């Protein structure tokens, strides 16, 4: 195709005619790719102003890296110019695949064996949320994951997290143990006095139905605080 006698139109960089990430993948393996190159392969195209690798770099910078990308809400993704519905759907699908793979891992072995997996899973689930969410991981007798439920939202206090509903959910899942979790959108991971009091109340309540509270984890975008590790359970 020619453009008004000016000769063939050169392929745009942002359409990935530049095969660098793909060729690098073939020659050196996926582990040799940068985070931006991996994302570029997923996106396939950039924008009119930015080639795809530069576009991917900008996205990761804006969202705080791969973790931020996987935690990003639809609103955050939609606010990025050039990231249309199709690309947003692809990113959401990848995030869901990661979540499902991590759930399979936690379901296959004791969460006490690899607590780092629990932290990573909770960060992906709760770390990017802008409102406080109280969740429970329900475990069997071998401490394998049965299910995770987000039970309450909003300011989490004794008045808004109902021990009876947590107990009913534990019985529904036939759980032998639980890990409690909630996020702090403020980024402060230290538990408040209300957090500690709520944990004590839930622990006593669940003991009545022979369900053990293993931990209460407080999740932020930057990390996870374990109350058990700090002697609060």
pLDDT in tens, 135-146: 999 999 999 999
The answer on 189 and 154 residing in a single domain is yes
Q: Which of 41, 64, 99 is the last residue of a domain?
A: 99
Q: Are residues 114 and 222 in the same domain?
A: yes
Any idea which residue has 């403020």 for tokens? 186
Is the pLDDT at 4 greater than 60? The verdict is no
* Confidence at residue 8, expressed as pLDDT on a 0 to 100 scale: 37
pLDDT digits 0-9 by tens, 74-100 = 888 989 999 999 999 999 999 889 889
- The contacts of residue 103 (CB under 8 Å, 6+ apart) are 121, 145, 148
pLDDT of amino acid 59:
92
Candidates 32, 76, 82; CA nearest to 56 is 82
Q: Are residues 117 and 91 in the same domain?
A: no
Asked if 95 and 119 sit in the same domain, the reply is no
Domain annotation covers residue 232: no
Of 129, 44, 38, whose CA–CA distance to 84 is shortest? 44
Q: Are residues 77 and 29 in the same domain?
A: yes
Residue 3 sits at φ, ψ, to 5 deg, of -115, 90
Residues 136 and 45 in one domain: no
| Position 10 pLDDT exceeds 80 | no
Question: What residue numbers bound the domain in which 89 lies?
Answer: 13-99
Q: Which residues are 167's β-sheet partners? A: none
What pTM value is reported for the model?
0.75
Number of folded domains that form the chain: 2
145 with 222, same domain: the answer is yes
């Amino acid at each position: 195709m020619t453009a008004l006698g000016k000769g063939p139109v050169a392929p745009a960089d942002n359409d990935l005619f530049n095969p660098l990430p793909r060729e690098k993948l073939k020659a050196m393996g996926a582990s040799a790719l940068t985070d931006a190159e991996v994302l570029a392969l997923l996106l396939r195209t950039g924008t009119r102003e930015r080639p795809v690798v530069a576009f991917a770099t900008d996205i990761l910078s804006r969202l705080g890296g791969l973790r931020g990308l996987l935690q990003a809400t639809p609103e955050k993704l939609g606010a990025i110019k050039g990231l249309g519905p199709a690309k947003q759907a692809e990113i959401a699908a990848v995030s869901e695949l990661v979540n499902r793979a991590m759930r399979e891992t936690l379901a296959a072995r004791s969460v006490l064996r690899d607590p780092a997996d629990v932290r990573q899973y909770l960060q992906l689930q709760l770390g990017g949320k802008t409102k406080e969410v109280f969740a429970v991981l329900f475990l069997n007798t071998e401490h394998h994951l049965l299910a995770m439920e987000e039970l309450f939202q909003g300011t989490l206090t004794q008045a808004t997290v109902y021990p009876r509903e947590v107990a009913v959910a534990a019985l529904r899942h036939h759980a032998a143990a639980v890990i409690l979790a909630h996020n702090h959108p403020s980024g402060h991971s230290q538990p408040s006095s209300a957090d500690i009091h709520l944990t004590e109340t839930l622990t006593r309540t669940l003991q009545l139905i022979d369900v053990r509270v293993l931990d209460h984890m407080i999740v932020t975008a930057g990390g996870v605080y374990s109350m058990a590790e700090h002697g609060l359970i």
